[in-house]
Amino acid sequence: MAYIQMKSIVASEGHPGLVLSLTLRMEGGLPMKVTSRDFDELREMHYLHAAITEAMRLYPPVAMDSHCCQNDDVLPDGTFVGKGWQVTYSAYAMARLEELWGADCEEFRPERWLDEDGVFRPESPFKYPVFHGGPRMCLGKEMAYIQMKSIAACVFERFSFRFVGGEGRPGLVFSVTLRMEGGLPMRVKKRRDSVC
């Protein structure tokens, strides 16, 4: 989970106001003095939810997934899939398709997940397959979001981050899970108004 939050910070490198925006929106623009949050407070952090979702859209933890067809079947678009055939999809590549996400598909833009009132608006799990879809949907999805938001809120209110890895984005290593090549060099600084 910390991996995803750090991806959010890396992705925000071209958006200097993002971390500030996340920080202010977590407390409605008020100074942060909260030492813990309850379930309802975490559920109401729509912008943070959108930022985490956008980070996972661009950098899905499982970049590619494969399944073996148990019986002959036909996909919703009419494509025949025979018994025993291997079917693979790439959530990483899907996140970069203009047909799915628009001309700004390669940009980190949490606002794409918010409605006009700033409330998180999910997409179809077949368009955003990070937690899979249908009968194979991840049962722990909601708990994962609560955990990620809890950790991110705690970390962002207490520390500031600056990417110190040079120009460009870190390289990626495609394996069972997507990870960064060489880690993520960051300068971490405790906030002056932090309560910890």
Mean pLDDT per block of 10 residues along the chain (196 residues) reads 47 51 49 64 91 95 92 92 95 96 95 95 94 88 93 87 80 88 88 66
What's the CA gap between 152 and 62, in Å, rounded? Answer: 20
What's the CA gap between 149 and 109, in Å, rounded? Answer: 17
Within the chain, residue ranges assigned H as helices are 2-11, 17-26, 39-43, 46-58, 91-94, 98-101, 141-158
Residue of 159, 174, 152 lying closest to 53 (CA atoms): 152
Q: Residue 12: what pLDDT? A: 52
Is residue 27 within 8 A of residue 34, CB to CB? The reply is yes
Q: Residue 125: what pLDDT? A: 93
What's the CA gap between 5 and 54, in Å, rounded? Answer: 11
Q: Give residue 163's region: left, alpha or beta (phi > 0; psi -120 to 50).
A: beta
pTM of the predicted model as reported, rounded to 2 decimal places: 0.80
Assign domain 2-190 one CATH number from 1.10.630.10, 3.40.1010.10, 3.40.50.970, 2.60.40.60: 1.10.630.10
For every residue of 95-131, DSSP letters joined together read TT-HHHH-TTTTS--GGGGB-TTS-B-PPPTTTSGGG
Q: Residue 154: what pLDDT? A: 86
First to last CA, the chain: 22
The separation between CA 138 and the C-alpha centre of its own chain, rounded to angstroms, equals 15
- Locus of tokens 């870190």: 170
Is residue 128 within 8 A of residue 121, CB to CB? The reply is no
138 is in an annotated binding site: yes
- At 166, the amino acid letter reads G
What's the CA gap between 63 and 12, in Å, rounded? Answer: 20
Q: Residue 1: what pLDDT? A: 40
